[in-house]
Amino acid sequence: MWRRTVLPDWPRRRRIIEADIVARTERLSQGGWAAALTDLRPGMRWLGDGRLRINAHDRPPRELTGAELVFVPVVPSRAWVAWRLPDRYAVIYPCAGQLLAERQAPAALSRLLGPARATVLVLLDTPKSTTQLVALTGQGLGSVGRHLKILLDAGLIRRRRSGRSVLYWRTATGDALATGQESS
């Protein structure tokens, strides 16, 4: 099964799953569990106080204290829930990172900067680390590093250290170039 159905498409699937992890981690760090879990499946939302609503059905809540709850990203665009009573539960959800991994730069920007560098610039609408950019683009670490250096030298992005990571984001000029709008 692995060799015939998954292996031929595994590099793309892996990039999508890694991009999902990056996207969820970013959402978690910016908005907490509510932001990270919002769109995992229709009707699902974080209620606070350790409570998670899995779907929109009006059923009595299940107590999961001490249970194992696993989140499983998948490439298909369908979500479901699975369990093995009494102590194992899984939320299977479509990858949010798929949209990020496949987001492309505008054609004119790609012609100006080259498609790989333009994609890096477009993805820097929010601060991201080199590791995140590698996961999102599927480019090698060295390539992403070179693109970041050129974009930094051109004044299109800025950087700052955050713990063990260095985060990069667009400047106003980089925003104007990436979005096609004039900077003020």
What pTM does this model have? Answer: 0.58
Ranges of residues in the chain whose predicted pLDDT is under 50: 98-99, 101
Cis? peptide before 127, omega within 30° of 0:
no
Closest CA to 93 of 73, 115, 114: 73
Contact 177, 109 (CB under 8 A): yes
Closest CA to 178 of 102, 104, 100, 101: 104
CA separation for the pair 26, 158 (Å, rounded): 18
**In this predicted structure, what is the pLDDT of residue 51?**
77
Buried b (16+ CB within 10 A) or exposed e, 22-53: bbbebbeeeeeeeebbeebbeebbbeeeeebe
Give 84-130 pLDDT, tens digit per residue.
988 898 888 887 654 454 567 888 999 999 999 999 999 998 888 88
Domains and CATH numbers, the chain: 2-98 (no CATH), 103-179 (1.10.10.10)
